[in-house]
């Protein structure tokens, strides 16, 4: 099958995927931007630990949604699941905006998480199905840069409207935008831009083969690679969601105004966006393993440096690098997964890696909440150490498995006996 479509076609698909993922990133970042307001919301009287649990509710739902979307997309088609996931989390965000109690806010976050978790694997799969072979990593990096770009938009929205609309208003905006723009356009255009259903949906026999290959017949080498990618995702998610949720509050507690702390979140998110697209370009040119290793290393050093009091221009540089080496790392890992495993199991593997790895995302806000109030050196040392571990894991485990990749691909592509 020829996946190389006309230029406007795959650009259109990538643009829709980018917008959907940006809305996903907005949702995750707007909670961090609104955290100081939630902590001072007199009607509820929340503690930092309680806010961390509420933040993690969405990420727990995302883990379940990622795994479910990966399996269901291979059975029923990525286009349908993509539309369902975007619609689902849009409604969930608007439910967050009207939650009357903290408990129901947590429930709404969990509900929204199901859709949020399915957006990334389905968006990646639909884009990879039409991307030219020599641009897959680059396009993957571009669309996944939507997560930190959404973070930038969330911080800017909070700066402009949080005082006027309150936390409820900025949540509602984030849900209404994708529901009124991405969903109707995708419903009309994707069928024309992605005209080959077999690129997005297997027949019944292939569906059965996909599930059995992923979960039963992947083999020791394939399972080993899957475990490494999942562990890297786990580490990256702890760093990213921990900082995304708590960076404004940490900086505010360190003596900066809330406005300055939100500016730090903008710079951090811009760094993640640059790291995602730039790192994926590096992956196309020099290899995915080198790009992942470099990103985790840069992130670990930059996060550790945030604990030191620096002049503002220098602090901005390290905030940018910290974003590049944490939030910018995950798209490179997903791109590595998408090119490492065969096309017939790509969505299921991505869903599994993203879903199980999301456990780290659940731990990140909770860990930040437990560490909140401690000296910044403690918080940033813990998060930096996680990045160091991920870099070492990438250097050792993936280097050892590099020569086995061809064997893994052959094994994973071989149909199981039925």
Ordered domains of the chain (ranges, CATH)? 1-194 (1.20.1250.20), 218-417 (1.20.1250.20)
| 238, 245, 293, 362 from 382: Cα distances, Å | 10, 15, 19, 16
| Predicted confidence (pLDDT) per residue in 25-60, tens digit | 898 788 888 888 888 888 898 888 888 888 888 878
CB contact set of 81 (below 8 Å; sequence gap of 6+): 69, 72, 73, 118, 122
- pLDDT tens per residue, range 152-188: 888 888 888 888 888 899 999 999 999 999 999 999 8
Q: Which single residue is written with the structure tokens 């199991």?
A: 345
What integer best gives the mean pLDDT of the chain? 80
Return the structure tokens found at 266: 């903008």
* Count of CB atoms situated within 10 Å of the CB of 100: 8
Q: What is the dihedral of CA 53, 59, 63, 65, to 10 degrees?
A: 120
Find the helix or strand (DSSP H, E) in which 116 lies. helix 102-128
Where residue 220 falls among pLDDT bands split at 50, 70, 90?
Answer: low
pLDDT for res 79: 84
Query: What is the pTM for the complete model shown?
Result: 0.70
Cβ-proximal residues to 196 (8 Å cutoff; 6+ apart), any chain: 1, 129
Cα gap 413→401, rounded to integer Å: 18
195-206 confidence digits (pLDDT tens): 555 444 433 344
């Amino acid at each position: 099958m020829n996946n190389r479509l006309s230029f406007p076609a795959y650009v259109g698909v990538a643009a829709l995927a980018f917008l959907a993922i940006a809305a996903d990133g907005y949702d995750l970042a707007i909670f961090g931007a609104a955290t100081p307001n939630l902590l001072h919301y007199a009607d509820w009287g929340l503690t930092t630990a309680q806010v961390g649990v509420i933040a993690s509710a969405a990420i727990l739902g995302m883990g379940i949604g990622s795994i479910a979307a990966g399996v269901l997309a291979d059975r029923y088609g990525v286009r349908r699941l993509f539309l369902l996931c975007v619609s689902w989390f849009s409604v969930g965000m608007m439910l967050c905006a009207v939650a009357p109690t903290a408990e129901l806010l947590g429930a709404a976050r969990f509900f929204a998480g199901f859709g949020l978790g399915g957006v990334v694997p389905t968006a990646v799969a639909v884009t990879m199905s039409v991307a030219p072979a020599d641009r897959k990593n680059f396009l993957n990096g571009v669309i996944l840069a939507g997560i930190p770009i959404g973070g930038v938009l969330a911080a800017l929205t909070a700066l402009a409207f949080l005082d006027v609309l309150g936390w409820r208003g900025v949540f509602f905006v984030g849900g209404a935008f994708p529901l009124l723009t991405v969903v109707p356009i995708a419903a009309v255009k994707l069928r024309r831009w992605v005209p080959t259903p077999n690129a997005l949906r297997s027949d019944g026999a292939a569906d059965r083969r996909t599930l059995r290959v992923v979960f039963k017949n992947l083999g020791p080498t394939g399972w080993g690679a899957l475990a490494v990618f999942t562990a890297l995702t786990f580490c990256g998610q702890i760093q990213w969601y921990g900082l995304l949720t708590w960076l404004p509050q940490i900086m505010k507690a360190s003596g900066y105004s809330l406005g300055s702390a939100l500016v730090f979140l903008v710079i951090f998110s811009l760094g993640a966006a640059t790291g995602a697209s730039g790192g994926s370009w590096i992956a196309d040119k020099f290899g995915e393993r080198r790009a992942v290793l470099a990103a985790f290393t840069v992130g670990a050093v930059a996060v550790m440096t945030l604990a030191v009091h620096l002049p503002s221009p220098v602090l901005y540089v390290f905030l940018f690098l910290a974003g590049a080496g944490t939030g910018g790392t995950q798209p490179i890992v997903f791109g590595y997964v998408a090119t490492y495993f065969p096309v017939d199991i790509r969505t299921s593997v991505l869903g599994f890696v993203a879903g199980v790895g999301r456990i780290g995302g659940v731990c990140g806000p909770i860990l930040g909440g437990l560490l909140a109030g401690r000296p910044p050196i403690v918080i940033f040392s813990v998060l930096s150490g996680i990045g160091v571990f991920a870099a070492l894991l990438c250097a050792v485990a993936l280097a050892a498995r590099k020569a086995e990749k061809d064997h893994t691909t052959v094994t994973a592509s071989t149909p199981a006996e039925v």
